[in-house]
Amino acid sequence: MSTATPLFSEIQKLATEQRNPRSAGIDTASVREILEIINTEDRLVAGAVYTQIDQIEEAVKIIEHAFRHGGRLFYAGAGTSGRLGILDASECPPTFGTKPDLVQGLIAGGLPAVFQSQEGAEDLEEGGKQALVDAGVGSVDVVCGIAASSRTPYVIGALKYAKTLGCKTLFITCAPLADVSIDVDVPICAVVGPEVVMGSTRMKSGTAQKMILNMLTTASMIRLGKVYENMMVDLQMTNAKLVERSKRTVMSVTGLDYSEATTLLGQADGHVKTALVIHLASVDQKEASLRLERAAGFVRLAVQNKSYSLS
């Protein structure tokens, strides 16, 4: 009789690798029943994420501080987790007008792994370290590991190396805190329970990770003045949809019609924030830009002609 390997024993105990009794008969279910089982399980995800609000708040404060002091945010993950990090990072520039290097996603196996599985790449801690070296990560940066199981070697390697650099470290996982063995500043443990298909962490675990990543960057960007009321005002007009969204935002805030909003954006060189301050404060483009600079990009403060002070 053969003896199980230590890795087998470790994986067998993972929360993400348990069988879900509620989906045990899914292989004989109708299409409708399959979809209802999946949807019922998905409803548990938001609740699991909510249990980690305190930790997510702490993480956002760390990220905001880093951004204000020249730091960047790096995600490190493998497989689904790595792809989710890259997705979140890639959406920040068009949504919030950030520089492409402010939020970056690193994935085991590099760029090819985004499109085709490179599963073996996740097994080397050295790979995570090397990815940070290649990206030029420094002490002012934040490194956020993403691993549903909490044990992915590539992610562990990245977090360990980040610690030696003096970086603040975050860890998003769907394992209980008791199962997290790596030392990080903020562990975020959204325990979603067994997957509908055993071990398929692209499902509930992936959904939880995506929700948390959305919260981290969106909340951080709001704290940086990238949103006015509940509208994106630092978006980049890089395609037709974003051009029209910019006009609609100006129209919604100012009450101007389509033609007037288009003219105003032209006066502001296509910058929504500047356009809003020009109109709401009745100033010219130069004064609007100066006010936004003093207000650290916050439209409300710029309109009130107030300087920003970190609270």
pLDDT (tens digit, 9 = 90+) per residue, 21-62? 899 899 999 999 999 999 999 999 999 999 999 999 999 999
pLDDT in tens, 133-145: 999 999 999 999 9
For residue 1, pLDDT over 60 is answered with no
Residues 94, 199, single domain; the answer is yes
Residues 246, 168, single domain; the answer is no
Q: Of 208, 223, 238, which closes a domain?
A: 223
Candidates 39, 26, 90, 78; CA nearest to 203 is 39
Residues 255, 152, single domain; the answer is no
Q: Of 197, 223, 249, which closes a domain?
A: 223
What is the reported pLDDT for 60?
98
What is the reported pLDDT for 117?
79
Cα 170–chain centre separation: 12
Tell me which residue range forms the domain holding 218. 47-223
Residue 144 belongs to some domain of the structure: yes
Residues belonging to the active site: 91, 122
What is the reported pLDDT for 113?
87
Q: Of 191, 223, 255, which closes a domain?
A: 223
**pLDDT > 70: percent of the chain:** 96
Q: How far apart are the first and last CA of the chain?
A: 64
Residues 112, 252, single domain; the answer is no
Please give the tally of structural domains in the chain.
2
Torsion of Cα atoms, 10 then 13 then 16 then 18, to 10°:
140
Domain at 199, CATH number? 3.40.50.10490
| Mean of the per-residue pLDDT values of the chain | 93
Specify the pTM: 0.90
What is the reported pLDDT for 14?
72
Cβ atoms < 10 Å from Cβ of 41: 20
**Identity of residue 286:** K
What is the reported pLDDT for 2?
62
Residues 187, 263, single domain; the answer is no
Residues 93, 218, single domain; the answer is yes
Domain at 245, CATH number? 1.10.8.1080
